Every structure is written in C-alpha cells, then in structure tokens.
C-alpha cells in the first residue's frame, strides 16, 4: 500500500520536472539559434554585428504608439516580421542612424536596412508623409525605397536594395584602373546628374538631397551610379538634420551659403556635385580646412583651391587621366570638365549651372 502511494506521488512529480527541463532547453536552443543567424560582421575580423532588436526596433504595440509598415514598388511582399527578424551586419554608423546589410525572407535576397534612432527621428506622421514623397521618386540613377517600418517607440527602419559594387567613395579609394578611365568618369558624372535632375525637376516640388557626397552614391556592377539617402533630412528632427549637415561640411561638401542658411537648396546640391566631380578627377578625397575666408577664397575645398588660384590645373588631375587625355587627344575635354566642376562650386549660388545645363554641357564634353 505504501509503495503504491509513493509511486502515485513520485512519478507525476518526476514527469513535471522532466517536462520543465525539456521546455527550458528547447527555449534556450531556440534563443541560440536566433543568435547564430546573425551574419559575420562587415569586413571580418570579429567586429560586433548587432541585431535590429538590439538597436531598438521591435514588434508588437506599445503605449503611445503603433506599428506601421509603408510599402513601395518592389517591397509589396515584405512583412514586419521579415524586416525585424532579418539577420544582418552593421556596415556603417552615424550620429543619427545605423546601416545594416541583411538577408530578408521575402522580396530581395539581400537588402540594406537603415535604422534611424528614435531620438533623432521626426514624428511618425511627418516621417510617413516624407517617406511617401521620397518613395515615389523612381529613376535608374536613384536608390529606391522599398519599405518604411515605423515602430511604437518612434524608431524608423528603411528597406533599400543592396548594391554589391558598394559606393563611389570606395571605388575611388581603391584606385583601380577603371576609376581613372575618362569614359567611366563621364558615365558616372552623367548618371549622377541625371539622378539629381530627376529629384530637382520631376515632381511638383523639388526634392533636395541635402547630403550629396561620394559615400551616398552606390554603384551597379556596370558602373551605373545610384544616388542614395536623398531627402534623409526630412525624416530627422531639426537638431539631427543640422548635425548631419555639419558632418557633411567637415567632409568638404557644404556650400558656403549654408553657413548662414539652415536649409539645403538645389544650388547647394549643385555645389556638392561639383566637389564630387573634382574628386573623380583628382582621385583623392576632399579636405576642407579653410579657417578664415578672404577675398581670394573661391570656396573650394582646400585640397583644390590653391591649385585653381595658382592656375596649376593639371596638378588637380590624376596622372593616369593626363596620360589618357594626351594619347587620345582629349586634353581640351578634360579641362572643360574641370571648369564645369569649378563652376558648380561658384561662391554665388545663382551663378551655378542647374542640372539641365550641366547635363547638356557634360554630354557634349563626353563625346
């Protein structure tokens, strides 16, 4: 009788304990599985690769806010789960956002996800309205927005296609032969201007880029440039947008009139374009260490200003470009390109050529 009583009590208790242990290990294994799905960090070497949840993006609802997912052409199949649960690696960080390369379970196999920190983001209503405008901008020389996720705590997550050829900045830094070919420079320049022209003229109200630089120009495998991050300042709060502009200034892309003005314009975009064109000629990054503007200051980044003032124009070009131009009889074309680039950097915004004039002139120079 006693033995039967012990069995009646002991076996059910043991069954409960075994079930709890099994449940614990299953949950733990699932958690580890999610951790292993994270891609290795960019460039290798054991650098940290964050999950989007760790950056602040999460599912569900929270008091004071709701989730929203805006889909644009190319992102119709995306879901909140596919975006938030995508394993990814950090490829770039700034004061206002983090850029991830991620594998999605729907849509494109690899995508770029830009997480905008809640403290830097505009209000949800403003961000959604701006995203609808930016998402409608479609052109072969623009990086499209596939979707925008708005989280309950104010976080924003943009989905863009991924371009394996990386950015124009990296292309120039690597110094490979293709970056010093005259026909490639012309192709890149014409493509960038076409994309910028679409932003400035295709819609009822111009879309100002506000942060145009080589790091924000992606390349297809056939050297087709695509402008990214256009209008990003519209999705940031005023303080974060101004900080982004100041970072651009330190890198040499800020038009001089923006010292007194807060808002970027079509003319300030043209100035940034001129600096990019100079970078492609010189095959080096710009430097903007001007301390005190004076009468001789033509408002070019310091790395190019002295060359122009002293008429040492040929020293602004890479040696390979000079060699090519002499061998092909394109010296005049090269000088004309340089003059067009410096015209974009004119200290007077009203004297800078617009995108239509630039495109016509550059297509003539490229012939």
DSSP 103: E
Residue-range definition of the domain harbouring residue 148: 52-161
Say how many residues make up the chain. Answer: 367
Report the pLDDT value the prediction gives residue 70, as an integer from 0 to 100. Answer: 93
What's the whole-number average pLDDT of the chain? 76
For position 250, which CATH number holds?
1.10.510.10
Whether residue 72 is predicted with pLDDT greater than 90 in this model: the reply is yes
Predicted local confidence at residue 118, as pLDDT: 87
**Phi, then psi, of 278 in degrees rounded to 5:** -65, -40
User: 118 and 189 share a domain?
Assistant: no
Burial code of 227-256, b = ≥16 C-beta within 10 A, e = fewer?
A: bbbbbbbbbbbeebbebbbebbeebbbbbb
Mean pLDDT of 140-149: 94
Tokens 């805006």 locate to: 70
3-state secondary structure of 105: coil
- Residue where one domain finishes, among candidates 161, 184, 207: 161
Residue 178 has a pLDDT of: 77
Same domain, 154 and 111: yes
For residue 68, pLDDT over 60 is answered with: yes
- Which range of 24-33, 34-43, 106-115, 226-235 scores highest in mean pLDDT? It is 226-235
Cα–Cα distance between 167 and 177 in angstroms, integer? Answer: 16
Query: What does DSSP assign to residue 329?
Result: T
Residues 124 and 185 in one domain: no
**Final residue of a structural domain among 161, 180, 196:** 161
Is the separation of the CB atoms in 212 and 196 below 8 Å?
yes
Residues 56 and 34: their CA atoms lie apart, in Å, by 17
Please state which of the ranges 48-52, 308-312, 345-349 shows the lowest mean pLDDT.
48-52
Tell me: pLDDT of 170 over 80: yes
Q: Which tokens is 202 given? A: 């295709």
Contact 250, 338 (CB under 8 A): no
With respect to residue 278, please indicate whether it lies within any of the assigned structural domains.
yes
Angle formed at CA 207 by CA 204 and CA 305, multiple of 5 degrees? 135
Q: Compute the distance between CA of residue 130 and CA of residue 232 in angstroms, rounded to an integer.
A: 9
> Cα 151 from chain centroid?
21
Q: CA–CA separation, 1 vs 11, rounded Å?
A: 16
Identify whether the C-beta of residue 227 lies closer than 8 Å to the C-beta of residue 192: yes
Would 5 be classed as within a structural domain?
Answer: no
Q: Is the dihedral of CA 202, 207, 212, 214 positive or negative?
A: negative
The predicted-structure confidence for 8-62, as pLDDT tens digits, reads as follows 545 555 555 545 544 444 444 433 334 333 222 333 333 333 334 333 333 333 3
Tell me, what CATH number does 66's domain have? 3.30.200.20
Query: What total number of domains does the chain contain?
Result: 2
Within this chain, do residues 295 and 267 fall inside the same structural domain, yes or no? yes
Token pair listed for 22: 């099994």
Q: Please check whether residue 80 is in contact with residue 159, taking contact to mean a CB–CB distance below 8 angstroms.
A: no
Same domain, 78 and 109: yes
Tokens matching residue 100? 């991830």
Whole-structure pTM over 0.85, yes or no?
no
pLDDT greater than 90 at residue 365 = yes
């Amino acid at each position: 009788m006693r033995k039967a009583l012990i069995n009646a009590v002991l076996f059910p208790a043991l069954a409960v304990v075994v079930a709890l242990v099994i449940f614990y290990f299953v949950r733990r294994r699932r958690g580890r599985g999610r951790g292993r799905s994270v891609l290795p960090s960019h460039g290798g070497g054991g650098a940290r690769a964050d999950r989007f949840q760790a950056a602040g993006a999460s599912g569900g609802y929270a008091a004071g806010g709701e989730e929203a997912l805006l889909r644009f052409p190319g992102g119709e199949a995306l879901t909140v789960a596919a975006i938030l649960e995508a394993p990814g690696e950090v490829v770039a960080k700034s004061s206002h956002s983090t850029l991830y390369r991620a594998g999605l379970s729907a849509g494109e196999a690899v995508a770029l996800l830009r997480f905008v920190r809640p403290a830097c983001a505009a209000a949800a209503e403003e961000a959604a309205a701006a995203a609808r405008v930016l998402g409608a901008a479609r052109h072969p020389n623009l990086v499209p927005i596939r979707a925008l996720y708005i989280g309950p705590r104010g976080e924003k997550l943009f989905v863009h296609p991924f371009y394996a050829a990386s950015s124009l900045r990296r292309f120039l830094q690597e110094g490979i032969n293709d970056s010093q070919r005259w026909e490639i420079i012309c192709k890149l320049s014409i493509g960038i201007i076409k994309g910028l022209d679409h932003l400035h003229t295709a819609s009822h109200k111009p879309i100002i880029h506000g942060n145009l630089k080589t790091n924000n120009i992606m390349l297809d495998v056939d050297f087709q440039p695509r402008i990214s991050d256009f209008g990003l300042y519209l999705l940031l709060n005023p303080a974060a947008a101004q900080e982004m502009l100041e970072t651009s200034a330190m890198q040499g892309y800020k038009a001089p009139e923006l010292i007194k003005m807060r808002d970027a314009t079509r003319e300030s975009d043209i100035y940034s374009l001129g600096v990019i064109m100079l970078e492609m000629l010189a095959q080096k990054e710009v430097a903007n260490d001007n301390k005190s503007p004076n009468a001789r200051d033509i408002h070019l980044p310091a790395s190019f200003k002295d060359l122009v003032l002293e008429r040492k124009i040929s020293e602004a070009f890479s040696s390979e470009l000079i060699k090519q131009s002499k061998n092909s009889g394109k010296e005049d074309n090269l000088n004309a390109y340089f003059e067009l680039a410096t015209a974009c950097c004119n200290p007077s915004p009203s004297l800078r050529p617009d995108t239509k004039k630039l495109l016509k002139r550059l297509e003539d120079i490229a012939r």
